Amino acid sequence: MAHDSFIAIKKQIILMKMTMNEVLGRIKTFLIPYLVILCICLVIKLVYTKSEIYFAVNAHYNPFVDWIEPYVTDIGNGWTAVAIAALLMLFNYRKALIVASSYAVTSILAQILKYLFDAPRPKLYFKDQISKIHFVKAVEILSLHSFPSGHTVSAFTLAVIFTYWSKNKAWGPVFLLIAVMVGYSRMYLSEHFFEDVTAGSVIGVVPTVIWLYWLDNKRFIQRPKWQKGLLG
């Protein structure tokens, strides 16, 4: 009887394996508008220079946006992903592992690229034009490791995951909007360039989709004990 139960569980796990098309299907409400936005970003990059894009963003500011953007940017903070993973541990080990490992994969990749490119951030890049730049008060402005934007990577990683899990796929565009807002906040706060944010979104989306396909097809993560959390 125990052997038959084991065989039944094994067959169920095998049947639960997904194809890449099924993974993409789960996030299509996020992915399709994202690809449209990405294409628009690439066109903008082809038409305008790095400086033109930066100063076009930096020239438009007001006190309310100055106040709200530091909070928006914190959505993409690595500690946000860690906190979400820790919270999920209470209810579902599988989801906690997916968030933690996806964040680890994309953030490590982002950090490797940051140190490989070692690109200057706006404060250093425009050091001879610093008087022209609007900086938000009480925000620490960094100078190095600009490419890519780590906050944007984290925000898009989480947006893909939450769209993947969401039963109501109408949330896909909402998660995308939040991720885009985080990316924009990085430019608004003069922490990153347009190119950093665009690349960050790609690094957040592509590796996360591949990781979801690989990890969520593993047999161990589909076992009943992984669907529980510390609260039982």
pLDDT digits (tens, 9 = 90+) for 97-142: 999 999 999 999 999 999 999 999 999 999 999 999 999 999 999 9
Check pLDDT > 60 for residue 60. Answer: yes
68-88 pLDDT, tens digit each: 999 999 999 999 999 999 999
Q: What percent of the chain has pLDDT over 70?
A: 93
- According to DSSP, residue 168 is labeled S
CA distance 199 to 114: 11
CA proximity to 216, closest of 82, 21, 19: 19
Sign of CA dihedral 54, 55, 58, 60: negative
What's the rounded mean pLDDT across residues 6-28?
71
- Which amino acid would we find at residue 127? K
CA distance 151 to 80: 10
139-168 pLDDT, tens digit each: 999 999 999 999 999 999 999 999 999 999
- Which amino acid would we find at residue 107? S
CA proximity to 165, closest of 88, 80, 76, 78: 88
Check pLDDT > 50 for residue 25. Answer: yes
**107, 129 in Cβ contact below 8 A?**
no
The CA angle 208-212-214, to the nearest 5 degrees, is: 115
Q: Is residue 109 exposed (0-12), middle (13-18) or buried (19+ Cβ within 10 Å)?
A: middle
pLDDT of residue 14: 45
**141, 124 in Cβ contact below 8 A?**
no
Instruction: State the chain's mean pLDDT as an integer.
Output: 93
User: Is the entire prediction scored with pTM above 0.85?
Assistant: yes
What's the rounded mean pLDDT across residues 172-176?
98
pLDDT of residue 16: 55
One-character DSSP codes across 14-81: HHT---HHHHHHHTHHHHHHHHHHHHHHHHHHHHS-HHHHHHHHHT---HHHHHHHHHHHGGGSHHHH
What's the rounded mean pLDDT across residues 30-58?
98
